[in-house]
Amino acid sequence: MVRAALGSKRKIGQGPVRFATAVPAASVVAASFLCALPIISNFGWYPDFGFLALLSWRLLRSDPWPAWWTLPLGLVNDLFTGAPIGLSIALWSATMLALDLIDRRTMWRDYWTEWVVAAVLLAINEAIQWKIAAVMGASLPLRAMLPSFLVSICIFPLAAWVVSRIDRWRLGQ
């Protein structure tokens, strides 16, 4: 990149890190693994870290990983979080598909549009989790999902920032 020459001297001649193509997927797996944190909570208000990472990567780049990698990523998330197996596989693939279709329609976008798109997808994610919990015999009122939805929306810019930092690091920029 020509711009790299204008940056600090330290970065000249520095290319992408090794396995740069695997970094996005690995970071999503790492985010899914955050559910192994020893937090014992009586509320499910924490955000879905894996899904936030997936959204952030997909909104940053149109091809963070080969499309079919979404399937194993979803499986890993299901296994780590203890959700019924298949939930994240279907949901994450559908999310990637939806974002592909949105990309075809939108002419331009900015941070606000991305935040709104993320909010809508996070809402769908929460609603489907709620529906699946109801099917499995745990029918809660829908407003029980509101706190975790709001927390996810507020955390999204942070997730997007972390992901953009990881992206710059992996590309050596």
Counting contacts by CB under 8 A, is residue 16 touching other proteins?
Answer: no
What's the CA angle centered on 156, arms 97 and 133, to 5 degrees?
A: 65
> Is there a contact between 52 and 88 (Cβ–Cβ < 8 Å)?
no
Binding mask 41-80 for other proteins (x = CB under 8 A): xxxxxxxxx------------xx--xxx-xx--x----xx
Q: Which 89-128 positions form the footprint of other proteins (CB under 8 A)? A: 89-94, 96-97, 100, 103-104
Stretch that binds other proteins, among 2-10, 113-121, 141-149, 158-166 (CB under 8 A): 141-149
Is residue 126 packed enough to be buried (19+ CB in 10 Å), middle (13-18) or exposed (0-12)?
buried
Cβ 23 to other proteins shortest distance, Å = 19
- Spatial distance between the Cα atoms of 91 and 41, rounded to a whole number of angstroms: 25
Counting contacts by CB under 8 A, is residue 143 touching other proteins?
Answer: no
One-letter amino acid of 28: V
Closest CA to 70 of 88, 82, 52: 88
What single-letter DSSP state applies at residue 36? G
State which residue, 17 or 120, has the beta carbon closest to other proteins.
120
Binding-site ranges for other proteins (CB under 8 A): 33, 35-49, 62-63, 66-68, 70-71, 74, 79-94, 96-97, 100, 103-104, 129-130, 132-133, 135-140, 144-145, 148
